[in-house]
Amino acid sequence: MDAYSSTIIDAVAKVKTAVVKIETHKKQDNKRTGAGTGSGFLFSSDGYLFTNSHVVYNATQMLVKLHDGSQYPAHLIGQDVETDLAILKISAIEFKPATLGDSGDLQIGQLVIAIGNPLGFQHTVTAGVVSALGRSLPSQSGRMMDGMIQTDAALNPGNSGGPLINANGEVIGVNTATIQGAQGLCFAISINTAKEVANQLIRFGKVKRAWLGLVMQQIDLVPKLRAINELSNKTALFITGVTKGSPAERAGIISGDILIAFNDHAIETADHLFKQLTEDKIGQFQHLVILRHFARTELRITPAQKN
């Protein structure tokens, strides 16, 4: 067997038993009706699993089907519409959870594999590459989801909430969206963002965060630019858009700026920025460092509450 096929087979084998199918139901006129299906994956040995918020949104009952055909009712621990993530809990035992990787190590062009239940076809595997990193994409609420992984691994309805894995079988993203009418434009929430969201959902049942109002894309910084500005960053966030009336607009940030630091922390990925936008930053002056026309510029910004 060729090396490419062997790599995919070995990677899928490490995670396939952790991938689940989720069936949701809603009550209508005092009758229970099927609302839809999606995917998810177990990430802890005590039954916690990731899926998308839009998979379980407004569901009154959720049923999780494991790889061996067994089914368990699921309890919603919490969901975050802004990142399209939800955490469910089941009481299953004797299963092996997926291993969570580090999305900060991803490289454009790297092999990735998506596993899920598209259109009801359970445990479907597709493969592709990382097309771009640090993308921003509108969420259900209209706010931008940051730190998205763009891939050409085919996704279809039902793939939502399933894992995106690397060649080692480690989960590096949660599959979430495609661009309708386009081919090869699929997106996953980075697992580093998902870890932060899961921590807050499990602890508080919701996510507390500050908001800047930036639309971003992760880019590589060329050596000459790094040398001129004495930067430690190898990558940074290119600002492709600024939300009207947002803290970013009031701070004077414009499209084309490159965000390289927040306070004293170098910002190389959207995950780095997400970690800094904690609740205590809301309403307080913070310092941003950007590159504008290749020159280093410092700005002050006051993050707002992200409702």
Give the span between the Cα atoms of 189 and 193, in whole angstroms: 7
Evaluated on CA atoms 82, 84, 90, 92, the torsion sign reads negative
Distances (CA, A) of 293 to 222, 227, 254: 14, 15, 12
235-242 and 258-262 beta bridge pairing = antiparallel
Please choose, from the candidates 175, 174, 125, the residue with its C-alpha nearest in 3D space to the C-alpha of residue 13: 125
Give the span between the Cα atoms of 151 and 163, in whole angstroms: 13
Give the span between the Cα atoms of 124 and 67, in whole angstroms: 12
Q: 3-state SS string over 154-219?
A: CCCCCCCCCEEECCCCCEEEEEEEECCCCCCCEEEEEHHHHHHHHHHHHHHCCCCCEECCEEEEEE
Evaluated on CA atoms 36, 42, 44, 50, the torsion sign reads negative
Give the span between the Cα atoms of 163 and 101, in whole angstroms: 11
List beta partners, residue 63: 23, 73
Active site residues: 54, 84, 160
Helix (H, G, I), strand (E, B) or coil at 104: helix
Give the span between the Cα atoms of 113 and 168, in whole angstroms: 10
DSSP 234: S
